[in-house]
């Protein structure tokens, strides 16, 4: 049975999804800004975020919010972490792969999470201790026992291009053992797909809290593990994340130990 907070987050995610879909055929007319080099946001990001904040504020007016566009608002142990459009680069190019991500953190730990793909009407939800679900069907991480034959997802660090060389070394080493690699453009969906066993594992450099807060809870509640490149469990302050089932995660960490630079292995 979904918890009340999840129901609120689902309503918020669907409201944001409606905004995102409404403007899909008007992309050429959108106002787009470059927040930093190769990091873009559109007015759709802001409108979708406003819908989410409105729903959350209505139900939980005292909770703090950390949103990709609006930043941090309020303080307290309970914080809603919001990415209103994860995959903006895809969206602005008409590539049909993006999502809405909403999570509630309690003293820094994710306790509720929702990732919504409005195009496919796929709703991934999780509550701490209650498991992970896709459209109300229980999901579990893959049963693969090692990197051999694994399908691994990743993303490339457009915010931190100084790490591109080491990531290519890591990618080359991963592909020496794994079956194949995907780079889809939405970290939230990558993590949700790990939870649903569509991918066997995922790693990326330099994520922000809103990129991963909901997705990591999905992975954990689906029986998987998330950690930093050095194998330290929890949401990594560095944003350098590994997520998979226990066996594949360890294989990926072993690759990191051989290929990642000291800068990527630090907390």
pTM of the predicted model, to two decimals? 0.93
Residue 226: pLDDT over 80: yes
- The whole-angstrom separation of Cα 207 and Cα 237 is 9
What percentage of the chain reaches a pLDDT higher than 70?
91
Q: Is 163 helix (H, G, I), strand (E, B) or coil?
A: helix
**Residues sharing a CB contact under 8 Å with residue 3, sequence separation 6 or more, in sequence order:** 112, 127, 130
DSSP single-letter state for residue 210: H
* Residue, of 267 and 8, whose pLDDT is higher: 8
pLDDT at 2: 55
Q: Is the pLDDT of residue 213 over 70?
A: yes
The CATH code of domain 4-139 reads 3.30.540.10
CA atoms within 13 A on the CB side of 158: 12
Give span(s): CATH 3.40.190.80, the chain. Answer: 151-265
Query: φ and ψ at 9, to 5 degrees?
Result: -65, -35
Residue 118 has pLDDT above 70, yes or no: yes
Q: Within the chain, which residue ranges are assigned CATH 3.30.540.10?
A: 4-139
Q: Which of 48, 51, 63 is nearest to 5 (CA)?
A: 63
Quick: pLDDT tens for 120-152: 999 999 999 999 999 999 999 999 999 999 999
The domain made up of 151-265 is a member of CATH 3.40.190.80: yes
């Amino acid at each position: 049975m979904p918890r009340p907070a999840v129901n609120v987050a689902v309503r918020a995610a669907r409201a944001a999804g409606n905004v995102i879909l409404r403007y899909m055929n008007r992309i050429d007319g959108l106002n787009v800004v470059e927040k930093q080099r190769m990091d873009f946001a559109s007015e759709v990001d802001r409108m979708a975020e406003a819908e989410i904040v409105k729903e959350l504020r209505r139900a939980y007016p005292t909770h703090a919010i950390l949103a990709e566009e609006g930043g941090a608002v309020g303080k307290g142990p309970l914080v809603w972490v919001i990415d209103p459009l994860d995959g903006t680069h895809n969206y602005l190019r008409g590539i049909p792969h993006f999502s809405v991500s909403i999570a509630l953190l309690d003293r820094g730990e994710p306790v509720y999470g929702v990732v919504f793909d409005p195009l496919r009407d796929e709703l991934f939800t999780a509550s701490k201790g209650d498991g992970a679900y896709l459209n109300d069907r229980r999901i579990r991480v893959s049963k693969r026992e090692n990197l051999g034959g694994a399908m691994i997802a990743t993303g490339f660090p457009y915010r931190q291009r100084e790490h591109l060389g080491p990531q290519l070394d890591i990618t080359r080493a991963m592909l020496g053992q794994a079956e194949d690699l995907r780079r889809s453009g939405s970290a939230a969906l990558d993590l949700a797909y790990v939870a649903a066993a569509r991918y066997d594992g995922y790693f990326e450099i330099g994520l922000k809290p809103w990129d991963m807060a909901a997705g990591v809870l999905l992975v954990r509640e689906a029986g998987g593990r998330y950690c930093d490149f050095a194998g330290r469990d929890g949401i990594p302050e560095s944003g350098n994340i590994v997520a998979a089932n226990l066996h594949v995660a360890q294989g990926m960490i072993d690759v990191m130990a051989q290929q990642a630079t000291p800068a990527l292995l630090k907390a």
